[in-house]
Structure 1
Amino acid sequence: MKVYKAYAKVNVFLKITGLRDNYHEIISRFMRVNSLYDELSFVPKDDESFKIIGNFSCTTQQNTIYKAYVALKKATKSEALDKLMKTHGVEVKKSIPAFAGLGGGSSDAATYLKMCNEVLHLGLSLNELAVIGLEVGADVPFFIYGYDSANVSGIGEVVEEFKEELLDYEVFTPDVEISTPKVYQTYRADFYAPIDDFETQRLKKTTSKEILESMDVSEANDLFNPAIQEYKKLKKHYEQGWHFSGSGSSFFRLKEDG
């Protein structure tokens, strides 16, 4: 069976631009991490229930892969999809830590959608898959498109490719499980200071390397200060020169040459 790679991402920067209902609108640079990925494949099974084989702490119904299946079934009404999931399970070899700000769940969901599209010859475009993926999570469209680097805005649904060299990262994930909604709540209550359109446009045009070299961790990521306020032990893991991905808990920096 073919093995598909679901890559991690880092947020080179993540800034809040405003509010939309209960959501925060963002501008962020997502970049793929080539050295960190989960591996997904379809494997034959005996019973007909939906099966995900892998090391997950959540229930099947809470898993992003299952949610992607439900969204794809709703969108396509595909009988072939039903048949596939009765005869095959999804095996996932996890390397991307959960609750880490690296997009592991979103990447798994996106990869599952692309696997089904390919194996079942559903003929869906990347745009159509991205719309389905958005029902699973705001970060899923980025992984559907498979860009090295992209400016992501809105609540995550606007993905614009940013052409630049793919950088090599060192990633460190402390053993701190973070709730993204909680970090956003703390940001809104204690740190709310959206950037203006001028600053948004400037960031969108600046290369990731320049951002990482010119901005410190709290300048680049609006969620860093609320995260360390909410999770005190996270601060012990922070070291100068590292950046913070998403709502955490992962830190990253450029790999040094040699």
Structure 2
Amino acid sequence: MQTLNLKAPAKVNYLLDVIRRRPDGYHELRMVMQRINLCDEISISLTDSPALTVTCDKNGVPDGPDNIAWKAARIMLDLSGSNQGADIVITKNIPVAAGLGGGSSDAATVLMGFNELLNLSLPDKRLMEIGVTLGADVPFFIFKNTALAEGIGEKLSVMPEMPKMWILIINPGVHVSTAWVYRSLELTNERVLSTLPQFYRTAEDICSIFNNDLESVTIPAFPVIADIKKLMIQYGSTGSMMSGSGSTVFGIFSNKKEAENAGKLISTGTDWYSAVVETL
């Protein structure tokens, strides 16, 4: 039995501008997306039986056909024309429904893993075309660079080089529906987009582009997000923001020790998820 063990990294959004609602119901976006070294672990084993199984260790994450990773695997097995099946085991380390892209990253990692296991040799561009049919963030994790993402998130270009950053992640355990956030978003007709810098040398340079239009929906519904942002700044973060549609808040710190200290101060006495990670 051929087995591949892979890591699926999370992401944070340094920028999330919502430009307009499109006639097809999707939203035109401008995002800056950064991978971090908080990863789900995925084991893919090809089997001689045609059955495809996905199991996950986290409550609330579906097994089987309702899992986005299952859908990714099914597409690749069908493309291969093989009668083989597969057993996929996902160990979730990335908080679920938290704005960190865990499900999208799992799907992207499964696409890349099957491409290798089945010797399909599909180029990343083709995998990204398949990925966007599963979810708007999936192509980013195949792209494997800090990216400017436009369109619904599928038009990707490489951002200028950014320094490695220590990031504190706090998740208050609130599950936020991305679909609900976008449905609830009120857009003004005219939107003037800020000009993005060409160079990023410091944490301050990165924090200068911080903006997340989705905070206007998520924070009024879950004020704890604003509380965590304030605490991040109070305990030394250069900048803090909600990632994606929430509810995760992240802050950039000048070193690992400061980030760890802030994490302890903010999360002590709560059941909040806290992790110090580094950008990839």
Normalised by the length of structure 2, the TM-score is: 0.78
Does the 8 Å CA contact 2:4/2:117 hold for their aligned counterparts? no
The structure where helix makes up a greater share of residues is 1
Give 1:3's match in structure 2, choosing from 2, 5, 18.
5
Q: Comparing both chains, which one has the higher relative contact order based on Cα–Cα distances under 8 Å and sequence gaps of 6 or more?
A: 1
Shift of 1:119: 1.1
Q: Unpaired segments of 5 or more residues in structure 2?
A: 234-239, 258-280
CA RMSD between the two structures: 2.4
Q: Unpaired segments of 5 or more residues in structure 1?
A: none
Classify the secondary structure of the residue corresponding to 1:17.
strand
Query: For residue 203 of structure 1, what is the aligned residue in structure 2?
Result: 196
Does the 8 Å CA contact 2:150/2:156 hold for their aligned counterparts? yes
Query: For residue 101 of structure 2, what is the aligned residue in structure 1?
Result: 103
CA distance in 2, matches of 1:19, 1:158: 17
Describe the superposition over 1:72-97 as per-residue Cα deviations: whole angstroms up to 9, x where unpaired.
355x2x223x40x2xx3111111001
Aligned-residue identity in percent: 33
Does the 8 Å CA contact 2:212/2:244 hold for their aligned counterparts? yes
CA distance in 1, matches of 2:124, 2:190: 31
Classify the secondary structure of the residue corresponding to 1:98.
coil
Classify the secondary structure of the residue corresponding to 1:121.
coil
1:161 aligned onto 2:158: yes
CA distance in 2, matches of 1:194, 1:66: 40
Query: For residue 219 of structure 2, what is the aligned residue in structure 1?
Result: 228
Shift of 1:161: 1.1
CA distance in 2, matches of 1:60, 1:194: 43
Shift of 1:41: 1.4
Query: For residue 214 of structure 1, what is the aligned residue in structure 2?
Result: 208
Shift of 1:245: 0.3
Does the 8 Å CA contact 1:15/1:195 hold for their aligned counterparts? no
Deviates more, 1:112-121 or 1:47-56: 47-56
Shift of 1:227: 0.6
1:67 aligned onto 2:101: no
Normalised by the length of structure 1, the TM-score is: 0.84
Query: Which residue identity is paired with 2:150?
Result: S
Give 1:113's match in structure 2, choosing from 107, 111, 114.
111
CA change 1:204–1:124 in 2 (3 A) is: farther
1:90 aligned onto 2:94: no
CA distance in 2, matches of 1:144, 1:194: 33
Classify the secondary structure of the residue corresponding to 2:230.
coil
Query: For residue 248 of structure 1, what is the aligned residue in structure 2?
Result: 246
Describe the superposition over 1:155-192 as per-residue Cα deviations: whole angstroms up to 9, x where unpaired.
0110111132232211111110001111112213xx54
CA change 1:64–1:206 in 2 (3 A) is: farther
Query: For residue 39 of structure 1, what is the aligned residue in structure 2?
Result: 41
Classify the secondary structure of the residue corresponding to 2:4.
coil
Does the 8 Å CA contact 1:72/1:132 hold for their aligned counterparts? no
CA distance in 2, matches of 1:160, 1:229: 33
CA distance in 2, matches of 1:105, 1:49: 22
CA distance in 1, matches of 2:183, 2:19: 15
How many residues are treated as equivalent by the alignment? 242
Shift of 1:194: 5.7
Query: For residue 15 of structure 1, what is the aligned residue in structure 2?
Result: 17
The structure where strand makes up a greater share of residues is 2
Query: For residue 262 of structure 2, what is the aligned residue in structure 1?
Result: none
